[in-house]
Amino acid sequence: MLPKKQSRRIAAWIYVVINPIIDSLGRELSFLNSANLTWRVRTGQCEIIKTLQEYVDPGQWPNYQVFVVEYKNSPLLPGFRQHDSNLEAVNTAAKNINLWLINSNMFMEMFEASLKQYESQRSLIGPAAQSLVDMKQSVQEEVAQHLINNVPTLPAHYVISSFWNFSSKNFLALRTAPEFQSLHRSTEKLFETSAKLKQVLEAFRLTLSREYDVPAAPVPGISFEG
Q: Which residues in this chain contact another protein in the complex, by CB under 8 A?
A: 20, 26-27, 30, 38, 40, 42, 47-48, 50, 54-60, 123, 127-128, 130, 135, 142, 154-162
Q: Which of 105, 134 has the CB closer to another protein?
A: 134
Q: Which of 154, 177 has the CB closer to another protein?
A: 154
- Least distance from C-beta 95 to another protein, angstroms? 17
- Least distance from C-beta 105 to another protein, angstroms? 27
- Least distance from C-beta 16 to another protein, angstroms? 8
Handedness of CA 96, 102, 108, 112 (dihedral sign): positive
H or E segment at 11? helix 7-12
How far apart (Å, rounded) are the C-alpha atoms in residues 91 and 190? 11
Q: CB neighbours of 22 closer than 8 A, spacing ≥ 6?
A: 198, 201, 202, 205
How far apart (Å, rounded) are the C-alpha atoms in residues 216 and 31? 25
- Least distance from C-beta 27 to another protein, angstroms? 5
Q: Which of 125, 174 has the CB closer to another protein?
A: 125
Q: Which of 107, 164 has the CB closer to another protein?
A: 164
What are residue 40's phi and psi, to 5 degrees? -120, 135
CB 58 within 8 A of CB 17: no
Q: Which of 6, 60 has the CB closer to another protein?
A: 60
Q: Helical H runs in 18-135?
A: 19-33, 61-70, 76-103, 105-125
Q: Helical H runs in 104-135?
A: 105-125
Q: Which of 130, 182 has the CB closer to another protein?
A: 130
State in Å, rounded, how far the first CA of the chain is from the last one: 10
171-202 b/e (C-beta count within 10 Å ≥ 16 → b): beebeeeebbebbeebbebbbebbbebbeebe
- Least distance from C-beta 66 to another protein, angstroms? 17
